[in-house]
Amino acid sequence: MKKTLTGLMICVLCLPAGHAGETTPSIREWTPAAWYETMRLKPAGDATRGARLAKVGYCYTCHGDQGVAPSRNAPSLAAQNETYLYKTLLDFRSRLWWADHKDDGMHALARTFTKQDLADLAAYYATRKLPTIRKVKKGDVHTEKLVRFGDPSRLVTSCAACHGAHGEGGVNEVPRIEGQSYLYLKRQLTLFKEGRRHNDVGAGMRFVTEALSEDELDRLARYYANGQK
Amino acid sequence: MLLNRRDVLKLFGAGAASLALPHGARAAAAPRLVIVGGGIGGAALAKYMRILNRDIHITVIEPNPRFIFCPGSNEVLNDEVSIDDLTVTYDTLRHRYGAEVIQERAVEIDYAGHHVLTSGGRRVPYDWLAVSPGPQFIYEAVEGYSEALAQGDFPHAWKAGPQTLRLKKLYQSMRPGGVVVISAPPMPYRCPPAPYERASFMAAWLKRHNPTAKILILDSKPDFIFQANYEDYWRDKFGYGTDHAMIEWVGSHEGGTVRQLDPAAHTVITADGERIRADVINIIPPEKAGRFAFDTGLTLGRDWVPVNPYDFRSRKDPNVFVLGDAAEADPMVKTGYVASNQAKWIAQIIHGEMTGRDPGNPLWTNNCVAMAGDDYGMTVTDTYRYHGGKIVTQETLIANPSHNPHLNALRASIARNWQRSFRRDIFE
Ligand SMILES: Cc1cc2nc3c(=O)[nH]c(=O)nc-3n(C[C@H](O)[C@H](O)[C@H](O)COP(=O)(O)OP(=O)(O)OC[C@H]3O[C@@H](n4cnc5c(N)ncnc54)[C@H](O)[C@@H]3O)c2cc1C
C-alpha cells in the first residue's frame, strides 16, 4: 500500500513537469484550409521594426546587408514576396521545413521570434530592393517551353503561371525565384523532388518537380539564376 | 636517430625507377609512420598524413574496433544525441586513406630498434612513431574512488561510452527531489567547459521530469571557462543564486574540492571535511598522460609528456612524436580540436622531412564550442604561434555573455554544426 502511494506521488510530480517543458511542435504538413486561415490571421508587418529585428537577429551575417545574399550559402531575401517570407519563417519555427543540417541556423533563430516579429521581418525584407541583374542569354527551347507552357502531357503547369512571367513571384505565397543563385535554386528543386522539403501547401511544388527529370530541373535552375552561379 | 635528407632519398630506394613499380611493391620500401592510439589525434594524423603524402606507409595501433567521440557526449545525457551518432569505425581510414589498422594494444617501444611491440606479440617497425593515447584518470586523488567504482555506480563518463549511458540512467531514474553531485577536476583536463555543459543538460531534463531535483557542482577550481555565460543562463532558467536553485556551484575557494568518496554511504567528503550525501555522484577525476606514455618512459618523471614545442617530438626520443591530451603543450588547452591541429602540423613536419621542404612557421588553432542548452551556445577560438622557443597564445576570441536571445540561439546552432563537421573532418 505504501509503495503504491509513493508510486502515485512520483506520477503526480511528473505530469505537470512534462507539460511545463517544451512541447515538440507538431509538424503536420499544410492543408490549403490551414494555410488560408494562417494567412488570414497574419499580423500586419512593420518594416521599421523588422529592420531592427534583422539587426539584432544577425540575419545579415548570412543573408547580407538589406537581404542581398553575399554568397551562395544562403538565398537573397530582398524583394521577396512578403507572405512567402512570413510563411517560410513559420515553417522553420515549426521545423516543417527541415531538409537537412543546412537549416539548423534557421531553426534556432526562428524559435526566438514571435509571429509579430516574423511578420515585421517579412515586411522589412519584402520592401528591400534587389540589384537589377543584366539579362543573360535565354534558355534553350525546351526549358523556355517548360517555363511558359509547361508540359500538359505530364500534367506540369508552367512555372510562369504561378511564379509570374519573369519569375518575379505571384499571388499568395508564390515566391520570387528570379534572382537567386543557381546553387540555391537547384538545391530547392531537388529537395522538393526528393520530398525532403515538404512545406509547400498541398504538395504543389513536389507535384511539379516529381514529373521533371534531374536534367530539366538543372536547366530550369540555370534559367532562373540568369547567369548567377 | 633522425632521418636526414640523404637517408630519406635512400629510403625511397632507386628513386625514379620505383615509380614504375606497382603500388604494393613500392610500399614495401616506403618509409613507415606508426601511430599509437586511433582517437582524435591519431586518426587525424593518419588521414592528413595520407592527404599530404601518397607513398608513406601508415599503421595505426588501436585496441578498439570503434571510436566514440567525447564531443557531443553530454548531449546523450539529454536524449538529444545517441551513442550511435557519436560512434565511428576505422573503415574510412583503412579504405579511403590506405592506413593499416592493427586492432591491438601497444605495450612497449624498442627505441633503439625502431619497433613498437603490441599486446598480440607483434613487432611493428617504424621510421617515425606518433603517440596519441589520451589521458588516464588519477582515481587516487579522491580517496575511496577507483576504476571499479567508475565502471559501476559511480561513473565519471569522461570517456564517452557505457559510462555515459550508465550516468544517464542513474540521474534519470533518481527519486523526486534527488541530488546529483558533480565533482569538477582541477586544470588541466580535457575539454574545460564540459562539466558545466553536463550540469546544464541534466538540469534541462530534470526541470521537465524531476523539477525539485538539485545539481551540486563541487569544483576543485576557483573559477571556470565561460563562467559568466553559464551563470547568466542558470539564473535565467534554473533559479541560480536563489533558494530554489536547481544548480549550485561551490568553487575551491569555498571548500568545493572533493577529497574522499564513501561509496557505501553515497557520500562525498570535501576539503573542509563536509560530508555531502547524494543520490548520484559523478566524480570527474584529475588526469595525467595515458598509461602507455608512462610505461614507455616518455613522461620523464612528469604528469604529461614533455615535447619540443616546435615540432612535438618527445624530449625522450626525437623520432617519437607525442600529441593530443597526453602532450605537455602549455598554453594549449586539451581539446580534440587542438589534438587535430597538432596532428595536421606533425604530418607537415614528417612530409617536410621526406621531401626536404621546410614546413615553415606553424599556426595552431583551438576552435571550441559549448552549450548551456539548445537555445544557448558559446564559442572560443585561440590561435597559437611558436615564438622564442615556446608556444605562445596569439589571440583569444571568446563569446562574451549576451542577453540577446537570437545570438545565443544562433551560437547553439553553430555549436551543433561544429560537432558534426568536426567528426567528419577527423573520420571521413
Ligand atoms: C564530455 C567531453 C566533451 C568534450 N567535448 C569536446 C569538444 O566539444 N571539443 C573538443 O575539441 N574536445 C572535446 N573534448 C575533448 C576531446 O575528447 C579530447 O581532447 C580528445 O579526444 C583528445 O584526443 P587524443 O587523441 O589525445 O585522445 P583520445 O581521443 O582519447 O584517443 C586516445 C586513443 O588512444 C587509444 N589508446 C590508449 N592507449 C593505447 C595503447 N597502449 N595502444 C593503442 N591505443 C591506445 C585509446 O583507445 C583511444 O582510442 C571533450 C571531452 C569530454 C570528456
The answer to whether the CB atoms of B210 and A13 lie below 8 A apart is yes
pLDDT of B28: 57
Nearest to B176 by CA among A7, A49, A48: A7
pLDDT of A8: 32
B61 lines ligand 1 (CB under 6 A): yes
CB contacts of A111 in chain B (<8 Å) are 375, 409
Domain ranges in chain B are: 5-136+288-360, 139-285
What mean pLDDT is predicted for residues B109-119? Answer: 98
Read off the DSSP letter of residue A154. G
Nearest CA to ligand 1 atom 45: B37
What mean pLDDT is predicted for residues B204-220? Answer: 97
The answer to whether the CB atoms of B406 and A113 lie below 8 A apart is yes
Note the Cα B141 to chain centre separation in Å: 20
Ligand 1 center to residue A168 CA distance, Å?
Answer: 53
The answer to whether the CB atoms of A109 and B409 lie below 8 A apart is yes
pLDDT of B12: 41
Q: Mapping DSSP to helix (H, G, I), strand (E, B) and coil, where does residue B356 land? A: coil
Nearest CA to ligand 1 atom 19: B335
- Chain A touched by B5 (CB under 8 Å): no
Out of B208, B212, B414, the one facing A21 most closely (by C-beta) is B208
Q: What is the percentage of chain A residues whose pLDDT exceeds 70?
A: 86
Residue pLDDT, tens place only, B370-406: 999 999 999 999 999 999 999 999 999 999 999 999 9
Q: Mapping DSSP to helix (H, G, I), strand (E, B) and coil, where does residue A198 land? A: coil
Query: Average pLDDT per run of 10 along chain A, which is 229 residues long?
Result: 33 30 60 96 98 98 95 95 98 95 95 98 97 74 95 95 94 95 97 97 96 97 89
Ligand 1 center to residue B88 CA distance, Å?
Answer: 13
CA-nearest residue to B176 within chain A is A10
The answer to whether the CB atoms of A13 and B414 lie below 8 A apart is no
Q: Is A85 left (phi over 0), alpha (psi -120 to 50) or beta?
A: alpha
What mean pLDDT is predicted for residues B319-334? Answer: 97
CB contacts of B406 in chain A (<8 Å) are 56-58, 109, 112-113
Residues B298/B305, Cβ–Cβ less than 8 Å: yes
CA-nearest residue to B206 within chain A is A17
CB contacts of B404 in chain A (<8 Å) are 56
pLDDT of A134: 66
Specify the CATH superfamily of domain B139-285.
FAD/NAD(P)-binding domain (3.50.50.60)
Cα atoms found within 13 Å of the Cα of residue B125, Cβ hemisphere only: 7
Give the largest CA-CA distance in chain A.
Answer: 83
Note the Cα B299 to chain centre separation in Å: 18
Q: Which residues pair with B249 in a beta bridge?
A: B217
Reply yes or no on whether the pLDDT at B244 is more than 70. Answer: yes
A229 burial (CB, 10 Å; 0-12 / 13-18 / 19+) is exposed
Q: List the grid coordinates of A100.
A: 537537412
Note the Cα B286 to chain centre separation in Å: 14
Q: Which residues of A touch B (CB under 8 A)?
A: 9-10, 13-14, 17-18, 20-22, 56-58, 101, 104-105, 107-109, 111-113
Q: Which of B158, B196, B325 is the best mutation target for the ligand 1 pocket, counting ligand atoms within 8 Å of the beta carbon and taking the most?
A: B325
B394 lines ligand 1 (CB under 6 A): no
Categorize the per-residue pLDDT at B29 as very low, low, confident or very high, splitting at 50, 70 and 90.
confident
CA-nearest residue to B377 within chain A is A108
Q: pLDDT averaged over chain B?
A: 93
Ligand 1 center to residue B134 CA distance, Å?
Answer: 5
B185 lines ligand 1 (CB under 6 A): no
The answer to whether the CB atoms of A105 and B410 lie below 8 A apart is yes
CA-nearest residue to B402 within chain A is A56
The Cα B84–Cα B271 span in angstroms is: 39
The Cα B369–Cα B411 span in angstroms is: 9
B383 burial (CB, 10 Å; 0-12 / 13-18 / 19+) is middle
The Cα B85–Cα B164 span in angstroms is: 13
The answer to whether the CB atoms of A17 and B211 lie below 8 A apart is yes
pLDDT of A94: 95
pLDDT of A26: 52
Q: List the grid coordinates of B110.
A: 624498442
Element (H, E) at B338: helix B336-355
Residues B195/B295, Cβ–Cβ less than 8 Å: no
Specify the CATH superfamily of domain B5-136+288-360.
FAD/NAD(P)-binding domain (3.50.50.60)
pLDDT of A18: 29
Element (H, E) at A120: helix A115-126
- For B132-213, where are the E strands, in sequence order? 135-137, 179-184
| Domains B5-136+288-360 and B139-285 are alike in CATH topology | yes
B155 lines ligand 1 (CB under 6 A): no
Cα atoms found within 13 Å of the Cα of residue B357, Cβ hemisphere only: 10
Categorize the per-residue pLDDT at B24 as very low, low, confident or very high, splitting at 50, 70 and 90.
very low
Ligand 1 center to residue B236 CA distance, Å?
Answer: 33
Reply yes or no on whether the pLDDT at B22 is more than 90. Answer: no
Residue pLDDT, tens place only, A125-173: 999 999 876 666 677 999 999 999 999 999 999 999 999 999 999 999 9
Q: What is the percentage of chain B residues whose pLDDT exceeds 70?
A: 93
Residues B195/B202, Cβ–Cβ less than 8 Å: no
The Cα B203–Cα A17 span in angstroms is: 13
pTM exceeds cut of 0.90: no
Element (H, E) at A84: helix A82-94
B residues 394..413 contacting A (CB < 8 A) = 404-407, 409-410, 412-413
pLDDT of A10: 33
Residue pLDDT, tens place only, B354-373: 999 999 999 999 999 999 99
